[in-house]
A = this chain, B = another copy of it.
Amino acid sequence: MTTQAQTAENGVNVAALLGARKALSDAPEAARFKWRATSEWLKGTHSRATVDGFFGLGGEQTHRQTYQFDSDHPEIFASEDKGATPLEFVLVGLAGCLTAGIASVAQHRNIQLKSVKATLEAGMDLRGILGVDADVRNGFDGIKVHFEIDADATAEDIAALVAQSQKRSAVFDIITNPTDVTVTTSKT
């Protein structure tokens, strides 16, 4: 039995993505996206974010449904743990981005995925955000991501899938490189 004639089915429409790449090469304005979220403070460190619409392909777009996420600090910080911490949402975004990339690249390379599991861990010295030591940064001192992948491919091909996903990952780029954040305020 050979696998050459088989086509991998990972559920990614690569033809559509390649079509989009060609279309957006010719229409750079359509490639300008704006991703959005709103959030509302509830009590203490607990807030609720809403994700609904975004802008792209030259117009306003909406998700198939509205997504809401509660964020809070854990009980050991004297909070009520009514949601994941903001830090964990960053890890969730990174996992989702790299995993979607792996599936897309696997489809393009005709590699059938069977399972893709990620484990993420980010170290942080809390003395940063608490203002104990000005030399300690507020954020993570680094993130380790480990993928365990079962697929019809060699270990080398699997490692190459992950490397390509990393190379094209938006969230990986946002975290590893500086991204400007401008904060403004108004009193209502």
Contact status A176-B181, CB under 8 Å: yes
Cross-interface CB contact of A93 among B21, B87, B147, B162, cutoff 8 Å: B87
Q: Does B78 lie within 8 Å of A17, measured CB to CB?
A: yes
Interface string of A59-95 (1 = CB under 8 A from B): 0010111010101111111111101111111111111
Decide: B184 and A145 in contact? CB cutoff 8 A: yes
Contact status of A37 and B147, CB under 8 A, knowing A12-B44, A127-B24: no
Whether A92 contacts B116 by the Cβ 8 Å rule is: no
Size of interface on A: residues with Cβ below 8 Å to B? 133
Q: What separation, in Å, do the CA atoms of A140 and B182 have in the docked complex?
A: 13
Q: Does A4 contact B (CB under 8 A)?
A: no
Complex copy number for this chain: 2
> Is residue A109 within 8 Å, beta carbon to beta carbon, of the partner chain?
no
Contact A78 B13 (CB under 8 A): yes
Compute how far the CA of A13 lies from the CA of B77 in the bound complex, rounded to whole angstroms: 9
Question: Given A100-B71, A170-B129, are A143 and B41 also a contact pair (CB < 8 Å)?
Answer: no
What residues of chain A have their CB less than 8 Å away from a CB belonging to chain B? 10-13, 16-17, 20-21, 24-25, 28, 31-41, 43-47, 49, 51, 54, 56-57, 61, 63-65, 67, 69, 71-81, 83-100, 102-104, 113, 115-132, 137-151, 153-155, 158-159, 162-163, 166, 168-188
